[in-house]
Amino acid sequence: MTEPSDWAPVLVIIALLAVRRCRPWYLLLVAAGLALADSPTCVLVMAVTVPLYYALCGRTRHRVALAAALIILVPLGTWFTATADSRAMLASGNSAEIAAGRLVAGVRDVTSGGAGGAASNMRYASTAGAVGALEAAGRLRGGLGPDADAVYFPAITPPGGQPAAWVNAIWVYALADFGYAGVVVVAAGVVAAAWRVRRCPAAATVFLPMLAASLVNSAIPDWWFAGLAVMLFALWRERGASPGLRLAPGRRLGADLGPRAV
C-alpha cells in the first residue's frame, strides 16, 4: 500500500467476510490492522460501510439490530465529538488516541467550515483549497477539463511551497475536471451501484467498501473498483434479469452461491 489509508476498504472487506463466513477470530486481524494503520480514514470507512452493508443486504433482524445500535451510538458519537479534547488526544503519544483525535478534529473542521483549523484535517484543507481555486478561476461549473487537475493544481502552487489543493476523492476529481455535471454523474453512478449491488451480498462485500473509500480517499485502486461497480451494477443489465455479475448461464454472483463464495 502507498499509504495507511489505502487499507481502509481492505480491512472492511475482511471484517464483512469474517461475519459472513462465521470466522470471528478474523476480526482480530481487523482490529490489529486498524491499530497499525493508525488512520482516521480506515475508521471512517469502517464506521460507514458496515452499517450500510447490513442496511442494504441484511435480513430484517439485522436491520432491527442496526437501528437499535444507531439509536444508541449516534448520540454517543455526537456527544463525544462535541466534548472530546482533540488537542490533548493528538499530543498523547498513543497511536489509538492520536487517530481518534485526528478523526474528531476532522469532523469538527467539516461541521464548522474549517473554523477549528483546517490544518488538523489535511483532507478537508485540500478539498477546501481545491474548491476555492476552482471558484477563483471560474471553473466550478464546467471544470478544468479531463485530467487537468494533475497539471493545474501543481502549477498554482508557489515554488518550494506546500500544495494548498489537490484531488483526494473521486468526487473532487469529478468537480475539478468536469464541474457540477461531473459530480452529479459520479453521485448517480455510486448511489445506483450501491443500491443494486444489494441483490448480490457476496459482491457487495467487495464493492461497497471500495465505493465508500473512493468518496473519501485518493487511492486510485479504490476508484478502479468503484468504476467497476458502476459498470457492473449501475449501467449493465441483462434482458429479463436483475443486475448482477454473470459467472455462467443461469448463475448470478451472490444469488446461488454460499457464504464461502468470496
pLDDT in tens, 112-136: 665 554 445 677 778 888 888 888 8
Has residue 97 been placed in a domain? Answer: no
- State residue 50's pLDDT score: 92
For 108-133, b/e burial (b = at least 16 CB within 10 A) is bbbeeebebebebbebbbbbbbbeeb
Has residue 89 been placed in a domain? Answer: no
Has residue 114 been placed in a domain? Answer: no
Question: Residue 109: is its pLDDT beyond 60?
Answer: yes
Provide the whole-model pTM.
0.77
Burial class of residue 258 in the structure, from the number of CB atoms within 10 Å of its CB (0-12 exposed, 13-18 middle, 19+ buried): exposed
Q: How many Å from the N-terminal Cα to the C-terminal Cα in the chain?
A: 22
Sign of the C-alpha dihedral computed for residues 195, 34, 214 and 101 taken in this order: positive
**Domains contained in the chain, number:** 1
Residue 255 CB contacts under 8 Å (≥ 6 apart), including other chains: 199, 200, 244
Has residue 104 been placed in a domain? Answer: no
- State residue 161's pLDDT score: 64
Query: What residue numbers bound the domain in which 213 lies?
Result: 4-83+121-252
Has residue 160 been placed in a domain? Answer: yes
- State residue 58's pLDDT score: 84
Has residue 105 been placed in a domain? Answer: no
Has residue 175 been placed in a domain? Answer: yes
Mean pLDDT of the 200-212 span: 93
Determine contact, residues 5/217, Cβ cutoff 8 Å.
yes
Has residue 91 been placed in a domain? Answer: no
Distance (Å, rounded) from C-alpha 157 to C-alpha 138?
18
